[in-house]
Homo-oligomer: A and B are copies of this chain.
């Protein structure tokens, strides 16, 4: 029996993603995962080899798509609005937003990303840096083109601040609780608009002290 619409592998990835978002990587046991996925405990090691590799695959499934979207939007922004900062920021922020709104558990993934930063899991960080570091570098270049006064070091600092604000806000960590009258989609969209405005001003701030 079992769900024929999604493969065992996919159900494990989905269950893992949700649980990792809720309880973190080390806070989630494989038995919780396999129980939610309605799958035998041995299936994880059969399909993924180890828990650690399962974590990587949870990332790969979403990040590949998100990175591709980001880079596509970045190219479009550079082509259609050369030297405009906000479209570049939108290209960075909106795929994360879209992912968060996506049914099929994308919302959980945003929180998983936030966890990844906190975990300081060297193995995972190396994996992410190896696989997706070029995306960040492309954005850094594009932003540097829009704000020429920004030195390299200052640019990196401000990109860090943007990343922190994005993860933090998208993961619902802060003060902001979604008003009852607002759909989650509208709430996320509001967040993206506010963040782009905030970050745009921050990136353009004076560079001299």
Q: Is A134 an interface residue (CB 8 A)?
A: no
- Is B209 touching A205 in the complex (CB atoms < 8 A)? no
What 1/0 flags go to A169-209 for Cβ under 8 Å of B? 10101111000000000000011011101111111111001
Contacts of A114 in B (CB 8 A): 117-118
Segment at the B interface, from A9-17, A32-40, A57-65, A153-161: A153-161
8 Å CB interface, A142-161 against B:
154, 156-161
- Is A173 touching B205 in the complex (CB atoms < 8 A)? no
Please give 4 more A-B residue pairs, beta carbons under 8 A apart, in addition to A161-B194, A164-B166.
Answer: A160-B176, A197-B206, A200-B205, A201-B205
- Is B120 touching A118 in the complex (CB atoms < 8 A)? no
Question: Least Cβ distance of A163 to chain B in Å?
Answer: 6
What 1/0 flags go to A19-40 for Cβ under 8 Å of B? 0011111110000000000000
- Is A22 touching B173 in the complex (CB atoms < 8 A)? no
**SS of A interface (majority):** helix
| Neighbour of A194 across the interface among B154, B173, B190, B201, CB < 8 A | B154
CA distance A158 to B201 in the complex (A): 12
Contacts of A136 in B (CB 8 A): 175
Question: Least Cβ distance of A118 to chain B in Å?
Answer: 4
- Is B156 touching A175 in the complex (CB atoms < 8 A)? yes
Question: Least Cβ distance of A125 to chain B in Å?
Answer: 9
- Is A117 touching B158 in the complex (CB atoms < 8 A)? no
**Nearest B residue to A163, CB-CB:** B174
| Neighbour of A26 across the interface among B27, B205, B209, CB < 8 A | B27
Contacts of A166 in B (CB 8 A): 164
Q: Is A111 an interface residue (CB 8 A)?
A: yes
26 A–B contacts from the bound complex (CB under 8 Å): A21-B120, A23-B120, A24-B24, A24-B118, A25-B27, A114-B118, A115-B118, A117-B168, A118-B173, A120-B173, A136-B175, A157-B169, A157-B195, A158-B198, A159-B175, A161-B195, A161-B199, A164-B167, A164-B168, A164-B173, A164-B174, A168-B168, A193-B209, A197-B206, A198-B202, A201-B202
